[in-house]
């Protein structure tokens, strides 16, 4: 085996890292976090996680279907059945670590918060790199997966921040049903303000 894979300890470390975000394990993490947020009545955080993950996964599936890129040969005989571009592992690992950093560390002491966030983001990057190390993806797959993760997280954050600031009652029991009427009411106020 080449020098790149010379250390068995390193091999096993990155094989473990790459399996941490296999689809079944990712879904388990996702549903555990979602259930925890719902149980704690964290409506904003639960909706943020749900729409961020489902939106990003939808884009990933569409891109894989459109590109249908073949995988590189991998020396570890890892079974892969989806097309190569973009990397789903990189996308889910980076998005989930960003989301956990944002949603679960806000109330921690400042130094602890930054240390936990650095640890989480480093974990996401290690999982992404493990897909190159095990040679089941090209670099462009990983890079695009990372960009999609950051883009999905940023868009979700901007959208929910907008909703939270402009429609503060959105997360109440009747908030979702009343949202369209709130928009109409705001439009009527604007119309009256500019009416001569």
Read off the pLDDT of residues 97-156 as tens digits, 9 standing for 90 and up. 898 888 888 888 888 889 998 998 898 888 888 888 888 788 888 999 999 999 999 999
Q: Where would I find the H helices in the chain? A: 8-19, 23-39, 43-67, 88-104, 110-133, 139-166, 175-194
The Cα–Cα gap between 31 and 175 comes to 24
Higher pLDDT, 126 or 172: 126
Nearest to 98 by CA among 144, 162, 170, 155: 155
The proportion of the chain whose per-residue pLDDT surpasses 90, expressed as a percent, equals: 9
**pTM across the whole model:** 0.74
Read off the pLDDT of residues 41-75 as tens digits, 9 standing for 90 and up. 888 888 888 998 888 888 888 988 888 887 777 66
The rounded mean pLDDT for the chain is 77
Nearest to 125 by CA among 145, 109, 111, 140: 145
pLDDT band at 28 (very low <50, low <70, confident <90, very high): confident
Q: What is the pLDDT of residue 77?
A: 64
Only one residue has tokens 């879904």, namely 27
List of residues 6+ apart from 83 with CB closer than 8 A = 64, 65, 67, 68, 69, 70, 71
* 40: pLDDT strictly greater than 80: yes
Q: What is the pLDDT of residue 194?
A: 42
Token couple for 80: 């892969």
Q: Is 98 exposed, middle or buried (0-12, 13-18, 19+ CB in 10 A)?
A: buried
List of residues 6+ apart from 23 with CB closer than 8 A = 88
The proportion of the chain whose per-residue pLDDT surpasses 70, expressed as a percent, equals: 78
Which H or E element spans position 72? none
Only one residue has tokens 């990372």, namely 146
The Cα–Cα gap between 94 and 155 comes to 15
């Amino acid at each position: 085996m080449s020098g790149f894979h010379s250390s068995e300890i390193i091999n096993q470390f990155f094989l473990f890292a790459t399996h941490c975000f296999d689809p079944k394990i990712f879904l388990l993490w996702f549903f555990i976090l979602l259930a925890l947020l719902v149980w704690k009545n964290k409506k904003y955080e639960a909706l943020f996680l749900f729409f961020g993950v489902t939106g990003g996964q939808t884009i990933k599936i569409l891109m894989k279907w459109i590109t249908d890129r073949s995988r590189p040969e991998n020396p570890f005989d890892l079974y892969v059945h989806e097309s190569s571009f973009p990397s789903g592992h990189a996308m889910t690992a980076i998005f989930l670590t960003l989301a956990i950093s944002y949603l679960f560390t806000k109330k921690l002491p400042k130094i602890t918060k930054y240390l936990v966030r650095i640890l989480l983001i480093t974990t996401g990057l290690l999982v992404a790199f493990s897909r190159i190390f095990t040679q089941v993806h090209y670099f462009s797959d990983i890079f695009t997966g990372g960009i999609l993760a950051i883009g999905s997280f940023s868009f979700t954050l901007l959208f929910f921040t907008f909703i939270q600031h402009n429609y503060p009652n959105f997360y109440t029991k009747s908030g979702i049903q009343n949202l369209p009427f709130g928009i109409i009411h705001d439009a009527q106020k604007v119309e009256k303000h500019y009416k001569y």
